[in-house]
Amino acid sequence: MVNIPNVIWIDEDGVIVRPPEPGWPPGDGYPDWLRSFLDDRDAAVEKKAAEIEDDDPELAARMRGGQDRDAYPDAIRDWARNGADSVFAMTPDEVLASSADRGIDKSEGAAHFELANHLWTAGERDDAIVHFNHAHRLQPDNWTYKRQAWSLVGNEQAGGGELGRFNQGPLPGAEDDWPFASNFTAETAVTPAGDYYPNTHTGR
């Protein structure tokens, strides 16, 4: 799991038939303002991709990459109807081949992340931040690790409240107290389009 929303398909026997991948509800379930925002953003991305396609076809393809928000629910419905016979259900070998590798750095990063969360819950804030930073260094493409840490400290800086947890960066004037190398706004600003989520597509 490297970001939200990520989805794993698990059948009635407890067997994973699709590994973690981005998955959204259909666009017609969004509020009008959110659907309009996403449509405008997608149109802007497509316009930019078309402008650079001749000069940089690889970047244009990446900008168009990612999960199809409208098709994903249909894939789930097909699996619900057809089970293992669904074209979208993978065999165990296909699941392994489609899963991210888990080298020593990722394993160590996961351990640091779990320890950081335990320490934060136990009230050991400073020690937790040390381990969050180790997790970020060892697995820099894992947005879950980053956003958890940013949200915890961001909520703290915002003084809590209903929307405090959505603050994932330093408040104005509190930059020197921000204990991480980056934050949500800065990170997304330098992340190429198409790289924020893994480039996954429904089907085998």
Summarize pLDDT for 69-98 with one digit per residue, the tens.
677 888 899 999 999 999 999 999 999 888
- What is the pLDDT at residue 41? 75
Q: How many Å is the Cα radius of gyration of the chain?
A: 19
105 vs 138: CA distance, rounded Å: 5
- What is the pLDDT at residue 204? 47
**Quick check: 142 and 135 in contact, CB under 8 A?**
yes
Q: What is the mean pLDDT of the chain?
A: 85
Summarize pLDDT for 148-195 with one digit per residue, the tens.
999 999 999 999 988 888 899 999 988 999 999 999 888 877 776 555
**Full-model pTM:** 0.69
107 vs 177: CA distance, rounded Å: 29
Supply the angle between the helices 143-158 and 104-121 in degrees, to the nearest 10.
Answer: 20
For residues 13-42, average pLDDT: 82
- What is the pLDDT at residue 178? 97
DSSP element (H, E) containing 127: helix 125-138
Answer positive or negative: Cα dihedral of 164, 165, 167, 170: positive
Place of tokens 């351990």: 111
